[in-house]
Structure 1
């Protein structure tokens, strides 16, 4: 039996699922019914039916785990090469600015490795390798953080002005004294 992309399972989970299938195979041999097996093993009746069909054709070895249905297109070695290409920056690969987007990375993977990913697949690949999406801060190159901090501290309070006091007849939330 195969699980797509590892079935989204942790390393322990595929072996647990295989033990369930082997237990089901033993129950098939004993002649138990699918709904009873499904209930006892806490799986769907449909899974028990599918397992029984595979077991009846090829025996218990048909229920053994054969790993994920597909392997990632870029393994760890190729991802290391991709990281090197990403470090060069988008301009080095022909884009007009220094912003990496998922579609640009998708195009780079296609050009460099002749592999086809979807944009969502690129996002999953990057996330799997602990990369995060970041939005660049749009700041002027000439920006001086010390001057900005001084302006906020000294100039902004005088520009902002004191809070207005409410007086009777203004849009105050309190009622005027009678």
Structure 2
């Protein structure tokens, strides 16, 4: 949380009390109606094999693709997650690791590849990526 956010919350609390801090709900309304949501639930229960995916795992990308195909509505991956979460679906991580997993390669990527993609921030400069940005 930033000092600016804390200040906004404090001013809201001062002017409206605890009620001013309560959530007003999602920022946008659901783009699927109740009938579409019931149909989406049926689709998800049938599994991804119906759409040509070989394994039986629903990923956010797959859910977003099915929503686009079936309902003509585009969802981002976070948007698909929020839609599923609002309607009682939860993330179920796999019970076991993939046979193909290479822990040495994962460790190498975490230590060498990731820092190249996501450089460290300079301390004291929230949000800065490089030492030349002002």
Q: How far apart, in 2, do the equivalents of 1:78 and 1:106 lie?
A: 14
Q: Root-mean-square deviation (CA), in Å?
A: 2.8
Give the equivalent residue in structure 1 for 2:56: 98
Give the equivalent residue in structure 2 for 1:127: 85
Alignment size in residue pairs: 79
Give the equivalent residue in structure 1 for 2:15: 42
After superposition, what is the alpha-carbon deviation per residue over 1:52-75, rounded to whole angstroms, capped at 9, x for unaligned? xxxxxxxxxxxxxxxx87421112
Do residues 76 (structure 1) and 34 (structure 2) align?
yes
Shift of 1:129: 0.5
Runs of at least 5 residues in structure 2 that lack an aligned partner in the other structure: 1-10, 17-25, 98-134
> Which residue, out of 96, 106, 117, partners 1:138?
96
Shift of 1:111: 0.4
After superposition, what is the alpha-carbon deviation per residue over 1:118-141, rounded to whole angstroms, capped at 9, x for unaligned? 0000000011011110013139xx
Structure 1 stretches of 4+ with a deviation exceeding 4 A read none
Give the equivalent residue in structure 2 for 1:89: 47
Give the equivalent residue in structure 1 for 2:110: none
TM-score by length of structure 2 reads: 0.51
Runs of at least 5 residues in structure 1 that lack an aligned partner in the other structure: 1-37, 44-67, 140-178
Larger CA Rg, structure 1 vs 2:
1
